[in-house]
Structure 1
Amino acid sequence: MFSTLRITPSSLLGTARATRVPTTAQFLKMAPAHKRKLTGKAFQVKESYQEDASKGAMLRFEDSLPRLPVPSLGDTCQRYLKSIHPLLSKDEYAASEKAVSSFQQQAASLQDRLIEKAEQPEVRNWIADWWNEAAYLGYKDPVVPYVSYFYSFRDDRKRRNPAKRAAAITSAALEFQKEVVNGTLEPEYMRKKPMAMSSYKYMFNTSRVAAEPSDYPVNYPSQDNQYIIAIRHNNFFKIPTHIDGKQLNTSELEQQFTKVYQAAQTSPPVGSLTSLPRDQGAVARKNLLSASRNNENALKQIEAASFIVCLDAASPVTREERARQYWHGDGANRWYDKPIQFIVNDNGTAGFMGEHSMMDGTPTHRLCDTVNALIVHEKLDFNNPSIRSSIPDPTAVRFDTDEQVIKDMASAQQQFATVIGSHELRVQAYQGYGKGLIKKFKCSPDAYVQMIIQLAYHKMYGKNRPTYESAATRKYQQGRTETTRTVSDESVAFCDAMANHEIGQAECEDLFRKAVNAHVKYTQLASDGYGVDRHLFGLKKCLKDGEEVPDLYKDPAYTYSSSWYISSSQLSSEYFNGYGWSQVIDQGWGIAYMINENSIQFNVVSKHLGSERMSHYLNEAAGDIRDMLLPSLEAPKSKL
């Protein structure tokens, strides 16, 4: 499915962690703007920040954020060897050592080229253009289910009526959009450092477009496109969000959605065309445009909309039913190329579906968290009953179809059914404990849950295999993600010890804590831009036509160690009851998890590898680790 670089677009959601926002005064005490320096053939940065008030609150730190570093070749080679050691036999590792030894000489010129690119004044992030192209826009598999991701919202007891739920969500989302468009949204922070906010420009009034040789994003001015699109029974309706310069209140929006419910009749599934593999989708788009001159305007209306609200004719109840509804739906009542789609079902349940070719999960997590918080805590006036008589009815956005378009839609639906049918999904809603107890164990909650996943995999397969966890690099200009390689010598030693009943609890706990500490250390390096995967990717991109490929890239261990048998990421919210995406290789697993105060939830996806069994092992592993650590926690402290 992927090249030897093992680009894994559906696992690149940035890890979301709670952060405390420093005051402006605290930032003003920091050192002047960063200065770049070159040491040991590595492009490094100093982290200090200046505010530019003219950019607005949201982007005020953007130009003074440091630029993504280029690690030294020697450091990356050492970290790479350390990461592959637990995955290989003795002979395989010896062969890889030779390949890496040769690589340090063979890649010296590539390192110089990469540093030269990073030093260019106009280059804000040396990997940005390469990564967006290789991992997303040039990716040819369908975005659903391989790139799309979802959040499942908790129920809203006050709004069981779907029109009422859709109206509240829309009101809250428009409030968030207002702050983004006006630039008044406060930046995000991680470990008291501001994060890049540039990707927010791709949140509203934008869309991905299927094209050859690669897709591309389109973005429209928000002030000129003050409307949303609602989809019901495959019909598209344009709903204005502002009339005479005034935003519609929640009651007015509810009336608009009610009219959509009343007017919608089952129509041809034009939205299904966005579910096609991207090369086929590009052809289908051309066919749609050729079918009628009207279709160009219809496409623009959808792509320029602020966002989409899908009013689904479904009533999901179980966690699995909800997950599937938001992750992929029925393949028709969607426009999968839009980065923001809120989904509201007939029974009032609701969620979110994202496409993140230009934007990772942390911004949309913040959007959805904010939307739900505004509603739950009644932070907006959702109860204003006034409805203006001047508001026009929703306008149908119609497509004209011909024989070829009808064939394309039929092909899209058939392929969608095949792809979705090849996946199985289970949700493990573990209620035994959550981050509250994990913190009492004095462990990083994220690293702790990564070890649960490793132990569960070991229980199922008797070994550990390459595992991806997303680490956010948004502390840098245009930063996105880096790979945290979860499997370490320490994690394998822990899993092996847990499988050996002759090894006692104290030794297992010691090995567990070493594994957790190793994971925390690698995650920190990755977040700082010093993982191995993006650097090795960048060096390979520096090869010129006809140049010999270095030995490291030919070594089977390179391909194997970056074949993500587990693709994982954490994104937690007390307002969600689900979150997830797909696996990235056919033999692998997609395991998304949420760590709440008193619970841990896993969304387990595979291509019929036994998701029910993996869910069982996750439950068992969570209990085993808790039971291993509890005696130490409960042991009476000795008196001095």
Structure 2
Amino acid sequence: MSPATSRGPKTPVDPNAPGPMLRYQSNLPKLPVPRLELTLQRYLQSVRPLLSDEDYHRTEQAVREFEAPGGLGQQLQQRLVARAKDPKIVNWMEDWWLDQAYMGYRDPVVVYVSYFFAFKEDKFRTVPAKRAAAITTAALEFKRQVVENTLEPEYAKGEPLCMDSYKYMFNNCRIPKKPSDVAGMYDPFKNTHIVAIRKNKFYIVETVHNGQQLSTNELEQQFQQVIDNAGHIPALPIGALTAENRDKWTEDREILLAAHPENKAVLEKIETASFVVCLDDSSPVDRDQLSRACWHGDGRNRFFDKPVQFIVFENGKAGFMGEHSCMDGTATCRLNEFVCDGLNRNKINHGSEQVRSGLPAPQQLQFQVNDKVEKAVAEAEQHFDELIGKYDLTVLAYQAFGKNLIKKFKCSPDAFAQMVIQLGYYKMFGVSRPTYESGQTRKFQRGRTETSRTVSNESVAFVKAMENPRLPNEVKVAAFRAATKSQGAYMSAAVNAHGVDRHLFGLKNCLRPNEPKPALFTDPAFAYSQHWFLSTSQLTSEHFAGYGWGPVVSDGFGVAYMIKNEALQFNVACLKDLVVGGKTYKNAAYHLKQCLEDAANELRDMLIADMPAQAKL
């Protein structure tokens, strides 16, 4: 995020704020409701390159009916505006989005919802207990700043962003429930323990003793005791239950609680913990292995409902896995950047080198199980293995250039990366399809995300021009410039809450149970334009070796990317047997990875050839 300007943000400070972190919070603007005609105009522009003439004319007619004076579209707009003005509602979208996009979503969180960061190696900390201890110390310092509200707010272009979601970062847990899960929030001052998992066994590590936080050396001793105590024989993996379908996990949780009265307290210790540290006994070597291990691991040595899980492997490699429901990746990216950068630059206070005598040993949490619990766990393991076995994940670590060269091309690095993805996809499939890029709306109170629709008339013209060997370089460059300009304009609208998708989502939610759906919402183009064949997003840290998630549709890709100073990185995930348009693609993730590399090379060569001679120096 960009730092605040020297003149300071335009947003006024709240003198009654509980601390510096929230000093702008109450004065952030509320999420607006865009003008109906502007959204519908932008919607038509976004679907035009995806549709035939005949289909587009049908969609145009549906839009005309929807926005007709006195029609249902106008009524829905009025209802949504009234909801946004309701003083009891901070953000008109918040509750709907949390329920429909996350808490009410019943597929497993792992693969479908969770995301990961993989860290670069720490050559000073190659022993698992040592690395886990250092990460924990840094994370506890970040927690302290969050719960004491002293953390500096994030900024974008000098203006503060909403910090409300940080309250979900620590001492929080997603609790399975029908028909919609709930967020469990617990006192961060009272609950100072963390949970370590080793060989599927859960341990409580108290991070405070006699009023003083454990030093890094003391935490290292604690983690080593966990590793030693866990031994070589894994326990029944209760954590695998959290990888289940949410309805199934809801039922299994009741089975677990009914098995023995003590299980409730054991489960509460995990749910109330500040965060989880998974001490895996695997040793991933290459980027693909490390990324997959952080994305889902073996499904056993985890508790997938916790929003913050650090993972440390037997060979000292490490990473992070996040549960996504209440908090987006920008917040946890900052947490992980704080941890990694602070350790790398020796900015973390590790406390005394002396280890106090008499520290309580880590306490193993013992679940009491019966045949029903064992059966549920066995089913969860089977379901997890079957699910994970369907997916491929691979990483393109592109080292030829990065942000520094892209800026010499006089173009947005994000727009450049998006055009790499568009061109790579077109190379593979010969067509452009609906693409989601995440744009944050945290400049508004409790804002989360808006969809930036990357595919445009200009992007389609660009990819076709690039694949036409007869066109001169200047024509291709002009097409590239037009495409990046279009992408930038839509992203600018999205971050200002003037995208298409969230507004239409809100209008649809304003329908009453007895009202017929307007043709706009039943038009095939409406569903197709939100079928994200490419689900993309950028979060970047020079300290990360990986970042990603799964596809959001069965015939699509999850493409997470980082734009580093001297490198680009694309994480590509999809089904192993990818069926698109009735055709099965084997090894599709690796195919797209190669196409992305080819696209990046071609764009580099094209734009270098177009640069003035002095700019190449």
TM range (shorter): over 0.9
Say what the alpha-carbon RMSD is for the aligned residues. 1.0
Match of 2:366 in 1: 398
Stretches of 4+ moved more than 3 A in 1? 381-384, 634-637
Cα deviation, residue 122, structure 1: 1.5
Q: Give, in whole Å, the separation in 2 of the partners of 1:86 and 1:245.
A: 63
Q: Give, in whole Å, the separation in 1 of the partners of 2:16 and 2:163.
A: 15
Q: Give, in whole Å, the separation in 2 of the partners of 1:382 and 1:304.
A: 25
Q: Give, in whole Å, the separation in 2 of the partners of 1:152 and 1:85.
A: 38
Match of 1:52 in 2: 15
Q: Give, in whole Å, the separation in 2 of the partners of 1:534 and 1:379.
A: 40
Q: Give, in whole Å, the separation in 1 of the partners of 2:116 and 2:136.
A: 17
| Structure 1 SS opposite 2:184 | strand
1:26 aligns with 2:8: yes
1:408 aligns with 2:371: no
Match of 1:492 in 2: 460
| Structure 2 SS opposite 1:26 | coil
| 1:277-292 mapped onto 2 (5 Å cutoff) | 277-292=245-260
Q: Give, in whole Å, the separation in 1 of the partners of 2:534 and 2:56.
A: 21
- Correspondence for 1:612 among 590, 596, 605: 590
Q: Give, in whole Å, the separation in 2 of the partners of 1:407 and 1:192.
A: 55
What do residues 453-478 of structure 1 show as CA deviations (whole Å, max 9, x unaligned)?
00000000001000000000000000
Q: Give, in whole Å, the separation in 1 of the partners of 2:181 and 2:296.
A: 20
What do residues 393-449 of structure 1 show as CA deviations (whole Å, max 9, x unaligned)?
000111111111111101101010111011111111111100000000011000100
Match of 2:481 in 1: 513
- Correspondence for 2:602 among 624, 627, 636: 624
Match of 1:128 in 2: 94
- Count matched residues: 600
Match of 1:320 in 2: 288
- Conserved? CA contact 2:8–2:158, under 8 Å: no
Whichever residue aligns with residue 224 of structure 1, its letter is K
Q: Give, in whole Å, the separation in 2 of the partners of 1:572 and 1:224.
A: 34
Match of 1:42 in 2: none
Q: Give, in whole Å, the separation in 1 of the partners of 2:614 and 2:560.
A: 37
| Structure 1 SS opposite 2:8 | helix
Q: Give, in whole Å, the separation in 2 of the partners of 1:516 and 1:53.
A: 43
What do residues 500-529 of structure 1 show as CA deviations (whole Å, max 9, x unaligned)?
111111000001011001000100100000
Whichever residue aligns with residue 70 of structure 1, its letter is V
Whichever residue aligns with residue 399 of structure 1, its letter is F
Task: State the percentage of identical aligned residues.
Answer: 49
1:254 aligns with 2:206: no
Q: Give, in whole Å, the separation in 1 of the partners of 2:513 and 2:13.
A: 41
Gaps of 5+ in 2: 579-587
Cα deviation, residue 385, structure 1: 1.9
- Correspondence for 1:361 among 329, 334, 346: 329
Whichever residue aligns with residue 602 of structure 2, its letter is D
| 1:554-569 mapped onto 2 (5 Å cutoff) | 554-569=522-537
1:633 aligns with 2:580: no
Match of 2:346 in 1: 378
Whichever residue aligns with residue 71 of structure 1, its letter is P
| Structure 1 SS opposite 2:20 | coil
Match of 2:35 in 1: 72
- When structure 1 is superposed on structure 2, of 331-340 and 55-64 the one drifting more is 55-64
- Correspondence for 1:88 among 51, 68, 71: 51
What do residues 219-239 of structure 1 show as CA deviations (whole Å, max 9, x unaligned)?
110111111000000000000
Q: Give, in whole Å, the separation in 1 of the partners of 2:28 and 2:499.
A: 19
What do residues 13-34 of structure 1 show as CA deviations (whole Å, max 9, x unaligned)?
xxxxx312345x623xx4xxxx
Whichever residue aligns with residue 380 of structure 1, its letter is I
- Conserved? CA contact 1:52–1:61, under 8 Å: no
Q: Give, in whole Å, the separation in 2 of the partners of 1:512 and 1:53.
A: 49
What do residues 141-197 of structure 1 show as CA deviations (whole Å, max 9, x unaligned)?
000011110000000000011100000000000000000010000000011110000
1:549 aligns with 2:517: yes
Whichever residue aligns with residue 97 of structure 1, its letter is E
Q: Give, in whole Å, the separation in 1 of the partners of 2:590 and 2:342.
A: 36
Q: Give, in whole Å, the separation in 1 of the partners of 2:301 and 2:170.
A: 20
| Structure 2 SS opposite 1:223 | coil
Match of 1:341 in 2: 309
CA distance 1:550–1:295, change in 2 (3 Å): same
Whichever residue aligns with residue 615 of structure 1, its letter is K
Cα deviation, residue 390, structure 1: 2.8
| 1:123-202 mapped onto 2 (5 Å cutoff) | 123-202=89-168
Cα deviation, residue 383, structure 1: 7.1
Q: Give, in whole Å, the separation in 2 of the partners of 1:107 and 1:398.
A: 56
| Structure 2 SS opposite 1:224 | coil
Match of 2:239 in 1: 271
Q: Give, in whole Å, the separation in 2 of the partners of 1:597 and 1:51.
A: 37
| Structure 2 SS opposite 1:125 | coil
Match of 2:398 in 1: 430
What do residues 515-571 of structure 1 show as CA deviations (whole Å, max 9, x unaligned)?
001000100100000000000000000000110111100100000000000000000
| Structure 1 SS opposite 2:356 | coil
Whichever residue aligns with residue 174 of structure 1, its letter is L
CA distance 1:390–1:53, change in 2 (3 Å): farther
Whichever residue aligns with residue 377 of structure 1, its letter is R
Match of 1:5 in 2: none
| Structure 2 SS opposite 1:298 | helix
- Conserved? CA contact 1:467–1:487, under 8 Å: yes
What do residues 361-413 of structure 1 show as CA deviations (whole Å, max 9, x unaligned)?
00100000000111111112337321111310000111111111111101101
Cα deviation, residue 634, structure 1: 4.4
- Conserved? CA contact 2:442–2:449, under 8 Å: yes
